Amino acid sequence: MLLEDYRTLNNMSYKELATFLGLKSPTSAMRYCIGTRYPKLNILIRIQDKTKQAVTANDFVAKYRELHEQEVQP
């Protein structure tokens, strides 16, 4: 599940999501949700733990591939 889907499903604002995940700002949460920024490993682990594995590192990889499909060709 994408982080944006998790946020929407749980009726959270970006500010509430940032607080839930222990992030410093709602802007970071928004950027993670829309795919303009990707979390570091320690944040990824926290996201997986806080969402009880509903959002995983693989979800971020899938989002990256979707957004950069033309760039990621072997």
**pLDDT tens digits along 15-63:** 999 999 999 999 999 999 999 999 999 999 999 999 999 999 999 999 9
Binning pLDDT at 50, 70 and 90, where does residue 73 land? low
Is the distance from CB of 26 to CB of 18 less than 8 angstroms? Answer: yes
Query: So what's the pLDDT on residue 25?
Result: 95
Query: So what's the pLDDT on residue 72?
Result: 56
Query: So what's the pLDDT on residue 14?
Result: 98
Q: Write down the pTM of the prediction.
A: 0.87
Chain-centre distance for alpha carbon 8: 12
Binning pLDDT at 50, 70 and 90, where does residue 74 land? low
